[in-house]
Structure 1
Amino acid sequence: MVTITEQDRTPLTIGEGIAFITHYPDSLRKNNCFSLVGSRCGDRRVPALWISKGAPKLGWCWAGNPHTWLGSASCAGRAG
């Protein structure tokens, strides 16, 4: 979150992440997946989208666990 906010960006939500991969399905690949920090509910769980057994998965990871394949999706702005 620190890096995202320092770059004047905001994290994506679950809905935005699903919409993004619907329009850009090739952006979600094995070893290139992303968390959706904008939908955290106040505990250590962070929603994420990843590939498992060749299919996209929506679930969560623990905040602070190092995953080299998992980034945090963000955007510079939203269109109304």
Structure 2
Amino acid sequence: MMEIQVKLFAMLQEQLGDSVAVEVPAQPTADQIKGAVGQLAPNVRQMVSTARLAVNQEFAGNGQLKLSAADEVALIPPVSGG
């Protein structure tokens, strides 16, 4: 297991702050990271489930991720405007 910082944006940032620390497996999947964030606050689980995960400013797929302490991990919820 490893601890990572996950940057948050939009409504997630308003609910939980700029970032959160979560414990994940050494090579987590995007769903495992999203699940760990969702466990911190049940009221944001739906929003987390629809968010996209980015690593080092590139959207990540659903496979296992090889993360290091220097990697930037972010959850970006869908945003609409008009």
TM-score with structure 2 setting the length: 0.26
Q: Select the structure that is richer in strand.
A: 1
